[in-house]
Amino acid sequence: METLEFQAEARQLLQLMVHSIYSNKDIFLRELISNASDALDKVRLAAFQDKDLNAETSDLHIELEADKQQRTLTVRDNGIGMSRDEVVDLIGTIAKSGTAELLRKLKESKDSSADLIGQFGVGFYSSFMVADKVTLVTRKAGQSQGTRWESEGEGTYTIDSVDDAPQGTSVTLHLKPEDAEDHLFDYTAEYKIREIVRRYSDFITWPVRLKVEKTENDETKTEFETINSMKALWARSKDEVAEDEYKEFYRHISHDWTDPLEIIQMQAEGTFEYQALLFIPSRAPLDLFMRESKRGPQLYVKRVFIMDECEALMPEYLRFVKGVVDAQDLSLNVSREILQQDRQIQLMRRRLVKKILSTIKSMDAEKYQTFWKEFGAAVKEGLVNDFDNRESILEIASFASTHDPEKPTTLKGYVERMKDGQEHIYYLTGASRSIIENSPHMEAFKAKGYEVLILTDAIDEMWVGSVPEFDGRQFQSVAKGQVDLDTGSDTEEKSKDFAGLLSWMTETLKDNIKEVRLSSRLTTSPACIVGDSNDVTPTLEKMYRAMGQELPPIKRILELNPDHALVTSLRKAHEENKEGAAETAELLYGIALLAEGGELADAPRFTRLLADRLAQAL
Number of Cβ within a 10 Å radius of residue 597: 15
Residues 298 and 401 in one domain: no
Residues 112 and 63 in one domain: yes
**3-class secondary structure, 399:** strand
Residue 78 CA to residue 143 CA, distance in Å, equals 13
504-541 pLDDT, tens digit each:
999 999 999 999 999 888 889 999 999 887 777 777 77
pTM score of the predicted model: 0.76
Concatenated DSSP letters of 513-547: EEEEEE-SS-SSSSEEEEB-TTPPPHHHHHHHHHT
235-256 pLDDT, tens digit each:
888 888 889 889 988 988 888 8
Strand partners, 529: 558
Looking only at the bridges linking them, the beta strands covering 72-77 and 62-67 are: antiparallel
Residue 328 CA to residue 564 CA, distance in Å, equals 72
pLDDT score at 576 = 87
Provide the pLDDT confidence category of residue 497 given band limits of 50, 70 and 90.
Answer: confident
Is 354 a member of any domain?
A: yes
pLDDT score at 170 = 97
Domains in the chain, number: 4
CATH number for the domain spanning 601: value is 1.20.120.790
Of 196, 211, 226, the position where a domain reaches its end is 226
Number of Cβ within a 10 Å radius of residue 148: 18
Residue 437 CA to residue 452 CA, distance in Å, equals 10
Is 380 a member of any domain?
A: no
* Sheet architecture: strand order including 453-455: 409-410, 398-401, 453-455, 424-429, 473-477, 469-470
Return the higher-pLDDT residue of 119 and 490.
Answer: 490
Is 613 a member of any domain?
A: yes
Residues 185 and 58 in one domain: yes
Of 197, 226, 255, the position where a domain reaches its end is 226
Number of Cβ within a 10 Å radius of residue 241: 17
CATH number for the domain spanning 319: value is 3.30.230.80
Residues 472 and 402 in one domain: yes
Of 372, 407, 441, the position where a domain reaches its end is 372
CATH number for the domain spanning 404: value is 3.40.50.11260
**Structural domain range at position 552:** 491-617
252-265 pLDDT, tens digit each:
888 888 999 999 99
CB 588 within 8 A of CB 546: no
Residue 44 CA to residue 80 CA, distance in Å, equals 8
Residues 203 and 288 in one domain: no
CATH number for the domain spanning 19: value is 3.30.565.10
Give the H/E segment covering residue 595: helix 581-595
| Angle formed at CA 62 by CA 59 and CA 68, multiple of 5 degrees | 135
Distance, CA of 431 to chain centre: 27
Residues 30 and 86 in one domain: yes
374-407 pLDDT, tens digit each:
999 999 999 999 999 999 999 999 999 999 988 9
